[in-house]
Structure 1
Amino acid sequence: MHAPVSWLRELADVPADATGADVAAALVRVGLEEEGLSGGDISGPLVVGRVLTVEPEPQKNGKTINWCTVDVGDHGQRVTEGKAQEIVCGAHNFTVGDLVVCVLPGGVLPGGFEISARKTYGHISNGMICSARELGLGDDHDGIIVLSELLGEDAAAALAPGDDAIALLGLADEVVEVNVTPDRGYCFSLRGIAREYALSTGVAFRDPADLAVAQGQGAGYPVHLTDDAPVRGVVGCDRYVARVVRGVDVGASTPQWMRRRLTQVGMRPISLAVDVTNYVMMLLGQPLHAFDLQTLSGSVGTRRARVGEKLTTLDDVARVLDPEDLLIVDGSDTPLAIAGVMGGEASEVTSNTTDVLIEAAHFDPISIARSSRRHRLVTEASKRFERGVDPAVAAVGAQLAVDLLVQHGGGTADSGVTDVGELRTSASIAFDTTLPTRYVGLDYPREEVLSTLRAIGCVVEEGATDGAAGGEVVTVLPPSWRPDLADGPDLVEEVARVRGYDQIPSVLPQPKNGHGLSHGQRVRRVVATTLAQQGLVEVLTYPFVSRDLFDRLGYDAQDPRRRAEALVNPLSEEAPLMRTSVLDTLQDALRRNVARGHRDIALYEVGLVTEGRETATEAPVPGIEVRPDDTTLARIRDAVPVQPRHVAMAAAGDAEPAGPWGPARPFDASDAVAWVLTLGTALGLDLEVASADRAPWHPGRCASISLSDGTLVGHAGELHPKVTATLDLPARSVAAEVDVDVLIAATGKPHQASELSTYPAAHTDVALVVDEPVPAGRVEAALRAGAGESLESVHLFDVYRGEQVGAGRKSLAYRLTFRAADRTLTTDEVSALRDAAVAAAASGTGAVQR
């Protein structure tokens, strides 16, 4: 929000010697962030010039420049002995005879940009013809300023070449730009900023809303308010003021003072009716809309849009409306505008308009915010309505607009005034005056607390009721322009900011002696460190997914992972669900990296997933006065869905690059399995691998990994070809996902280390023939069970398929290592142990020794 210092002086007693920096500093003290400071840094000569000639000259780079001569009056005498100035200009929105703004050699533009005569495009350019952005009047840089368009034909006709443009455009006036946070919507107006300045400095404030409003004689223009689909049960419009002004000369020029102020706040003057509504909005914060009365059908009103309904807005875009959009309609139920966002072109004020209907309404902030985002249409009106507009100022805004149209447009106001609706009043707050002292840590006397609350506009009723901490409780009614004040902590923040945030000391908390990391934290660090040591890169993705992702991942219709929690207010409508698997979002990070040239890549992420519920439980909202009881806390915890922590890995491309040592080796399913097994080794767990069939993995290249007691840890393997094609991933991409909470629980108990044997190990090999479907892990488990405690390790070192073992059969070769704790094993003992292991494998898996 731009706040010209000269305009602020009319609303507050700003000292005559106060600079823009002083004003900005005062606003910062009460919590308004300074975004920038402009104006006051331009020095002349900056003058009005009349274009005498324009000669287009195409350049080799494809650009066309204009070689111009400009009459700058007496200033030309000091520059080029009275001749018209020769200036190079790259804009094309002007012609011969136009009045423009020229800065001549010696002038300084905003940012310390000094102008001098210099050679460019083969000519000596004695100055520059200026655009709005070059003068700090706005962001428009599409063309230079044409004064007849900016000021109006009548005002421009009174100008002469050489007139001072600094005074003409108010460029000597400093403008403070304030960053308005969502909770301070009232500061989207000069009224709000002036009030904050007065609050910060203690000077007098003159409220521009303190204006006599006509009560009306007779019926006003008919207005009907309906809302058959309120958002959150709140009606979209709770107050609507309509005023009619007839016989308005819409072609009349906007007064120069109003044009200058609109320009200073970054708005472009357009026409009298539009300029008046914009001026009132900037002054009071109340957006207005002007309708051509002749285009209406006897009345106006509100309703929600219907499915498939369309409206062409003032930006000439035909928009498909949503049933949640609140509309302004006329008596024939024809849509006129998206309420609080933008009007329609069918009812806009044109050069043929004579009678104008002024609308000043109060709309539900959330309804307006959703419509603005839904249509990607952010306007000055929507920015104010979605942050909360003062509902009490609607009639004042309409009255001020009517007065200005009558005064400058020659219109006549109808005697009737329409003001309908039922305003939602602010709720009173029971406030303990000791809260600021207890919350902030500084001493805030009761008198200061009460005076501060009254200074920000609250109505305070003192009482003698003891609060929770023994302090006096008062009843506070927030002002109508502060919808953000809803409870005690909100009022505490007001007390703190008015005294000054700089008064609150910065004290670093002193950490107490702790017990180090918890067991879960240590396990998570081991998981992350181990995967990083394996060459994977950690990433962090947003845990939000689209509704069609589960179909693309190939989940069965009954897969519990399809039951995902939906967000009430998602960041993106395209991703409204919480992920049920870390792999849901990790695959997108893999795809994006591959698309940007990282062909050989391995990623991992440790994060939470959200398990969906068949029925959601509503959580209670306890007060802040005392700690909630155990029952309330239990209900809150029960309402939160289960969120286990998982780690997922995904890779594509080559695991080992090609080189002098040999060809490249691409990632395959065994790499994904190996990563999980390495995690088990790092955590001291014996993990078992078995074949599995689970989406989104390839059914023939998917493994389940479990603890020795059968508890499922996760899955790993190669992604299904259909999944990689649907997700735009490279073919043969691999992935794994592990439940970290299972690993934490499995390693939660201490393990007793066994004593190392110093006796030599004995090795023996066995080759077992089994049916093709029999997993190698199952054979290994049988060997371990039969070999007994002296078996130290089992290692699969060869797999053979061929004629010697027969069709549908495979040979698995294992190396068995035996070691006794108290003696050296003999050959007969090793043979007996080996035979026992083979017998157990034969019994359990049907294995036959080769």
Structure 2
Amino acid sequence: MRIPVSWLIQQLELTEEHRDLTAEQIADAFVRVGMEVEEISTLGPVTGPLVVGRVAEIEELTEFKKPIRFVTVELGDPEDVDSDDPDALPASTQVICGATNFVEGDLVVVALPGAVLPGDFKITARETYGRVSKGMICSARELNLGDDHAGIMVLPTGETAPGDDAIDLLGLTDKVIELALTPDRGYCFSVRGLARELACAFDLRMIDPAAIEVPEADSESVPVTIEDSDGCARFVVRRVTGVDPTAPTPWWIHRRLMLAGIRSISLAVDITNYVMLEMGQPMHAFDTTKLKGGLSIRRAKAGEKLVTLDDVTRTLDPDDIVVCDQTGPISLAGVMGGASTEVSAESTDILLEAAIWDPASIARAVRRHKLPSEASKRFERVVDPALPPAALERAARLLREHGEGSIQPGRTDVGNPTAPAALTMAMDLPDRVAGIRYDRGVTVSRLQQIGCLVDFGTGEDGKPSVTVHPPTWRADLTQPADLVEEVLRLQGYDTIPSVLPPAPAGQGLSPKQRRQRAVSRSLAEAGYVEVLPFPFVAKTVWDQLGLAEDDIRRRTLSVSNPLEADRAELASTLLPGMLDVLSRNVSRGAKDVAIFHIGQVVLPRTERVPMPEVGVEGRPSDEDLLQLNGTLPVQPAHVAVVLAGHRQRAGWWGKGEQASWADAVEAAKTVARAAGVELTVHKADLAPWHPGRCAQLRVGGFPVGHAGELHPKVTEAMGLPARTCAMEIDLDALPLTERRPVPRVSPYPPVLLDVALVVDDEVPAEELSDALRAGGGELLEDLSLFDVYTGEQVGEGKRSLAYSLRFRAADRTLKVDEATAARDAAVATAAERFGAALRA
């Protein structure tokens, strides 16, 4: 929120000590009470002659492609010009201008030659468009008064005259403070709320703009019926007739709106916006003559339409709150009025409306119709339910004063908003929370400063307590902890000592943590890069992965308030996020990618367990913790790997090696070795992997994951490189082993033998390796597959698998005969299990 410093200071009863408050001191005070100051903007600076001028004559230069005007501006009475004074203002000047939003007779701001505008922009007389321009007519943005650059700034008539100093008139020595307000501080979206915070910070009295005398309502302005009390807690209207529609907005209102970032429209609309900024109560003005019968407040009906003030026909939702007359909806409550009852340039009979709407309903309507506004911003954050009568009275009096309107007797006030509930708190609770002892009376005085009524009493323990009645504008004070926060905040968080608790001796990492770090380190050493994918997925991703309709991975949990509306599901597998990271890297030019991630997936329970209510007065019991954990979904830790492009890059050493399903399987083995478990590989068929290039990973006969090459349809649907490979293992499904391996170095030489076995194509190489290990016994130290051959020499439906076997004895030098016997035993076992035969 943007607000000029001069307006804030005007709402404080300044003492001699605070008579010369600066913008920087005010900003520091806001920070002390817990508010964030984004920027302090200095208006101007402007030096040199900047004066008010009256447009006397406009010559349209039609020979150019864009609108160009040669404007004569009067700067004063020619008889008052002192020709002997070189610094005297000329009686008039002529300037070139491209804006078209002013007419003859308008008052404008003119920068004469010699003036320097913000940005060190120097004004000089210069020839342009075939004319000599002796100055410049200024817009608000050129004077650093706001962002409006749509046209020239036109001043209201009657409050100034040509030749007046525009620097003083515009208040260019003022400063503007911009604050980033949190949603719980809805009352601070007004000068009233901000001034109250400053009064607390400086221990000053505040001038409350809402503290005005509101006459009793002896009759109704317009009949009003609230059909939906949940959506509308209060609805108040006041009628003003005889308003001069041509009356200009007073300059002081126009200037404050402009500095706050709100564009001036008309007197009636400007006054409602001004009161909104001043008090925090959004308002709406209806043209009374366009209303048909009384008003009613209800939810919209399915299919109803409303043309809003921006001339857009909107289809209403049954959740929308609308204001209706006999013809139907005339306003989208709290968001935008309807065009049918708009206050126009001919409107003289104005019906002012101030209401209290349901914050959640307004927030949903804003997002649904994409119509954010200053009014909805305040309604979403809760508006003081006691404000509407005072705000209407203030707006009606301004219309009477500046628009010559006549306030009609009576006021319609329907609804019954609930007052904040009283809270009881131990007197010393703020002291105990802060860890310091505040001076006597601090708690009560601080609570009274924010508008609370405080009654003294005695608690159940016999100690002093206070019963606090929060003010109507502080709907956020709902528990004693909120009152404690207010006392600590206003006393200053910097006064609370920082004492670090003693750190107990740690017990080191848990076995699961040690295993996860070992897995992460092993994959990084193998050349994989760790990534942190987005943890939420869209429902459409399961179709892209080719999962069956009954696939258990489609069962997910939805997030109530997702960061991205189209990604509201918690992932049941790491693959969608990993493939998204791969796609992003490939789109940025990375051709060879090898990434991994260790993270939790979310698996919903088959039955929904209600969440137990646990208080905050102490630590939950073991039974409460057990019930709480029982309501949570299962969240096992998984590890996933994705590869694309070359696993071994090409270079001077030779051709590169394309990543394949075998690399994904090897990554799984790397994980297993780091976790200290024995992994076996079995043929499988599971989406999103390729049916013929998918392996199931097992530990102790139990499946823990899959690895292989992704199906071509999946890579095409997700825009991934061809032959992309992936692996995912349930890390929590692996048994924990206390494993501290010590390398064994044998002093005896090995015996190296090779063997080539011919088997059916259907025999997995991993299972054949297991058979050789079983037959080779203890002497077989290691084996590795180094060649696979298919062709005429081995026959159709057959393939040759060549292994390198390493035999070694731990206590002696192994003889060749012993190694040969062990090799023959290994081959015999392979022949027994799979019909393997030695290749000739």
Give the structure 2 partner of residue 430 of structure 1: 424
Partner of 2:718: 727
Give the direction of change, closer, same or farther, for the CA distance of 1:81–1:322 in structure 2 (3 Å limit).
Answer: closer
Structure 1 residue 402 displacement after superposition: 2.4
Which letter maps to 1:319? R
Alpha carbons 2:43, 2:145 under 8 Å: kept? no
Shift of 1:65: 7.7
Summarize the alignment of residues 742-821 of structure 1 with structure 2, pairs less than 5 Å apart: 742=733, 745-746=735-736, 748-751=737-740, 753=742, 755-821=744-810
Query: Is the Cα contact below 8 Å between 1:246 and 1:356 reproduced in 2?
Result: yes
**Is the Cα contact below 8 Å between 1:89 and 1:129 reproduced in 2?**
yes
1:419 aligns to what?
Answer: 413
| Counterpart code for 2:51 | V
Residue 143 of structure 2: SS of its match in structure 1?
A: coil
Distance 1:24 1:754 in 2: 66
Q: Shift in Å at residue 187 of structure 1?
A: 0.7
Say whether 1:240 aligns with 2:229.
no
Q: What is the rounded CA distance, in whole Å, between the counterparts of 2:429 and 2:127 in structure 1?
A: 67
Name the amino acid aligned to 1:391. Answer: P
Aligned twin of 2:265 = 270
For 2:266 and 2:467, how far apart are their aligned partners in 1? 47
Q: Any conservation in 2 of the 1:71–1:84 contact (CA below 8 Å)?
A: yes
The answer to whether the Cα contact below 8 Å between 1:88 and 1:120 also exists between their aligned partners in 2 is no
- Find out whether 1:136 has 2:138 as its counterpart: no
Distance 1:79 1:525, change over 3 A: farther
Spell out, residue by residue over 1:50-77, the C-alpha distance to the aligned partner (whole angstroms, 9 max, x if none). 5656676999xx9998776655556998
Deviation at 1:414, TM superposition (A): 3.9
Question: Paired residue for 2:50, among 43, 46, 49?
Answer: 46
Which is worse superposed, 272-281 or 354-363?
Answer: 354-363
Of the three residues 599, 606, 614, the one matched with 1:607 is 599
Match of 2:612 in 1: 620
- Give, in whole Å, the separation in 2 of the partners of 1:253 and 1:65: 27
SS at match of 2:778: coil
Q: Is 202-211 or 321-330 further displaced after alignment?
A: 321-330
Give 1:481-560 correspondences, 5 Å limit.
481-507=473-499, 511-560=503-552
2:726 partner SS: strand
Paired residue type of 1:459:
L
Match of 1:824 in 2: 813
Letter in 2 for 1:217: D
Which AA in structure 2 matches 1:143?
A: G
* Distance in 1 separating the partners of 2:357 and 2:82: 53
C-alpha change, 1:668 and 1:638, in structure 2 (3 Å) is: same
Please give the secondary structure, in 2, of the residue aligned with 1:463. Answer: strand
Equivalent residue number for residue 667 of structure 1: 659
In structure 2, what is the equivalent of residue 259 of structure 1?
254
**AA partner of residue 630 (structure 2):** D
Cα distance in 1 for residues equivalent to 2:429 and 2:253: 45
The verdict on how the C-alpha distance between 1:84 and 1:608 changes in structure 2, with shifts beyond 3 A counting, is farther
Task: Give the deviation of 1:288 after TM superposition.
Answer: 0.6
Whichever residue aligns with residue 192 of structure 1, its letter is G
Between stretches 692-701 and 92-101, larger displacement belongs to: 92-101
One-letter code aligned to 1:2: R
> Percent sequence identity over matched residues?
49
1:191 deviation in Å?
A: 0.7
Please say if 1:372 is aligned against 2:376: no
1:22 to 2:25 alignment: yes
Return the offset for 1:565.
Answer: 0.6
Following superposition, the deviation at residue 286 of structure 1 comes to 0.6
Between stretches 307-316 and 179-188, larger displacement belongs to 307-316
The 8 Å contact of residues 106 and 114 in structure 1, kept in 2 or not, is answered as: no
Opposite residue 195 of structure 2, the aligned amino acid is A
Indicate the residue corresponding to 1:294 in structure 2.
289
State the distance in 2 between where 1:600 and 1:491 align. 58
* Superposition pairs of residues 670-709 of structure 1, within 5 angstroms: 670-707=662-699, 709=700
In structure 2, the CA distance between the partners of 1:749 and 1:376, relative to structure 1 (3 Å rule), is same
- Larger displacement relative to structure 2 (123-132 or 617-626): 123-132
Structure 1 residues 754 and 166: alpha-carbon distance in aligned structure 2, compared to 1, 3 A threshold: closer
Partner of 1:448 in structure 2? 442
Range that drifts further, 321-330 or 190-199: 321-330
The 3 A distance-change label for structure 1 pair 57 and 304 is: same
In 2, distance between residues paired with 1:752 and 1:593?
37
What residue number does 1:324 align with? 319
- Residue 90 of structure 1, CA deviation: 6.3
Q: State the distance in 2 between where 1:66 and 1:714 align.
A: 76
Q: Does 1:171 align with 2:178?
A: no
Equivalenced residues, count: 828
Residue 684 of structure 1 deviates from its aligned partner by 4.1
CA contact (8 A) 2:75 2:89 kept: no
Which residue of 2 is the match for residue 402 of structure 1? 396
Asked if the contact 2:752/2:806 (under 8 Å) is kept, the reply is yes
What is the Cα deviation at residue 624 of structure 1? 2.0
How far apart are the structure 1 equivalents of 2:507 and 2:588? Answer: 44
Q: 2:124 aligns with which of 117, 122, 127?
A: 117
Deviation (angstroms), 1:830:
2.4
Q: Shift in Å at residue 41 of structure 1?
A: 5.4
Amino acid at match of 1:389: V
Task: Return the alpha-carbon distance in structure 1 between the equivalents of residues 594 and 122 of structure 2.
Answer: 56
- CA offsets, 1:440-470, max 9 Å, x none? 2222245211221122112222221146xx8
Provide the residue aligned with 2:454 in structure 1.
Answer: 460
- In structure 2, distance between residues paired with 1:138 and 1:615: 57
Between the aligned partners of 1:724 and 1:63, the Cα distance in structure 2 is 53
Judge which range, 733-742 or 791-800, deviates more: 733-742
Task: Report the Cα offset of residue 764 of structure 1.
Answer: 2.4
Name the counterpart of 1:4. Answer: 4
* Equivalent pair of 2:201/2:490 in contact (CA under 8 Å): yes
- Residues 13 and 511 of structure 1: CA distance in aligned 2, closer, same or farther (over 3 Å): same
Q: Which 5+ residue runs of structure 1 have no aligned equivalent? A: 228-233
1:36 equivalent to 2:39? Answer: yes
Q: Distance in 2 between matches of 1:189 and 1:689?
A: 68
1:159 aligns with 2:166: no
The corresponding residue for 1:361 is 355
The structure-2 alpha-carbon separation of the partners of 1:254 and 1:447, relative to structure 1 and needing over 3 Å to count, comes to: same
Instruction: Tell me, in whole angstroms, the C-alpha distance in 2 between the residues paired with 1:783 and 1:440.
Output: 71
Task: Report the aligned-residue RMSD.
Answer: 3.1
Change (3 A) 1:47 1:81: closer
Q: Deviations over 1:28-51 (max 9, x none)?
A: 222222232334653442222456
1:125, CA displacement in angstroms?
A: 6.9
From 295, 306, 316, give the equivalent of 1:311. Answer: 306
CA contact 2:453–2:468 (8 Å) conserved in 1: yes
CA 1:471/1:138 → structure 2, altered by over 3 Å: closer, same or farther?
Answer: farther
Post-superposition shift, 1:220? Answer: 4.1
Assess if the C-alpha contact under 8 Å between 1:3 and 1:193 holds in 2. no
* Cα distance in structure 2, aligned partners of 1:544 and 1:78: 73
Q: Partner letter of residue 25 of structure 1?
A: D
Distance 1:749 1:526, change over 3 A: closer
Residue 771 of structure 1 and its aligned partner are, at CA, apart by 2.1
Q: Is the 8 A contact 2:116 2:123 kept in 1?
A: no
Q: Deviations over 1:360-393 (max 9, x none)?
A: 1111212212222233322101111111111111
The amino acid across from 1:183 in the alignment is D
Q: CA deviation at 1:238?
A: 1.4
Does residue 838 of the first structure (1) align with residue 827 of the second (2)? yes
For 1:200, the equivalent position in structure 2 comes to: 201
Provide the C-alpha distance between the structure 2 equivalents of 1:453 and 1:224, rounded to a whole number of angstroms. 37
Q: Does 1:741 align with 2:736?
A: no
2:570 is aligned to 578
- Please tell me whether the aligned partners of residues 104 and 115 of structure 1 are also in contact (alpha carbons under 8 angstroms): no
